[in-house]
């Protein structure tokens, strides 16, 4: 396992927890934003909005409080020598872009070829969710998922493909609603073997 990648990730999570403002500060910040829009945060329809927004942010960004390495640690070795590709397709996720805090809605395809042990398939989906529930750019998120699976499971190879719609360009800015972004990260035999890579790409179309 590469300790530097995950040590830095855990350090960022730890710092965010230590420096985290309390709930009252967050709610006051939301009240300020409401006033900035020209609205009255004390009118009936908005009075509880700061608390609601704060609770929703706790859910949106809950990935900072979870360690993806721990999620992948429990593995199974009784696999009868299975060494073919394992693919979990169409893992839906919701994230937020770190530039505008606008939603990113997409799906991930995660594949690996085991090297003597496998992990429960739900754990792959949970790793996607952990990284999605942070402020993100899609390119970084794709690499984080692949690198973590590669470091913890030490498989023959890992492939990750993400397709997502970014509201920072579909509902604002250039307003291009029918576009999505596709990113991929191939490691080990997925990078080195064109046939393995092509097999995975064919499953993700």
CB contact at 8 A, 74 and 119: yes
Is 97 annotated to bind a ligand? Reply is yes
CATH of residue 26:
1.10.286.10
Residues 82, 172: one domain? yes
d(CA 65, CA 137): 19
Cα distance between the two ends of the chain: 31
The answer on whether 6 is annotated among ligand-binding residues is no
* 25 and 100 inside one domain: no
Q: Quick one: pLDDT at residue 204?
A: 86
Average pLDDT over residues 106-123: 97
Q: Model confidence over 19-53: pLDDT tens digits?
A: 788 999 999 999 999 999 999 999 999 999 999 99
Residue 88: domain span: 75-203
**pLDDT above 90: percentage of residues in the chain:** 87
The pairing of beta strand 75-76 with beta strand 118-119: antiparallel
Residue 96 in marked binding region: no
Domain identity same for 100 and 52: no
pLDDT at 135 over 60: yes
The phi and psi torsions of 105 (rounded to 5 degrees) equal -115, 125
Same domain, 185 and 101: yes
Same domain, 192 and 99: yes
Q: Is the pTM of this model over 0.85?
A: yes
**111 and 169 together in one domain:** yes
Supply the mean pLDDT for the chain.
92
Both 99 and 198 in one domain: the answer is yes
């Amino acid at each position: 396992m590469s300790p530097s990648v995950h040590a830095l990730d855990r350090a960022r999570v730890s710092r965010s927890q230590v420096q985290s403002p309390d709930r009252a500060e967050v709610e006051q910040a939301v009240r300020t934003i409401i006033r900035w829009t020209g609205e009255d945060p004390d009118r009936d329809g908005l009075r509880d909005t700061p608390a609601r927004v704060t609770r929703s942010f706790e859910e949106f960004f809950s990935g900072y409080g979870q360690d993806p390495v721990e999620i992948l640690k429990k593995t199974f070795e009784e696999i009868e020598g299975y060494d073919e590709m394992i693919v979990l397709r169409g893992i839906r996720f919701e994230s937020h872009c770190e530039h505008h805090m606008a939603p990113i809605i997409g799906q991930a395809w995660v594949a690996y070829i085991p090297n003597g042990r496998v992990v429960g398939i739900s754990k792959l989906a949970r790793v996607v969710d952990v990284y999605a529930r942070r402020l993100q750019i899609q390119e970084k998120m794709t690499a984080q998922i692949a690198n973590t699976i590669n470091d913890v499971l030490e498989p023959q190879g890992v492939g990750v493909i993400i397709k997502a719609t970014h509201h920072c360009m579909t509902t604002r800015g250039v307003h291009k609603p029918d576009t999505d972004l596709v990113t991929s990260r191939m490691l080990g035999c997925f990078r080195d073997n064109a046939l393995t890579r092509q097999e995975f790409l064919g499953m993700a179309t």
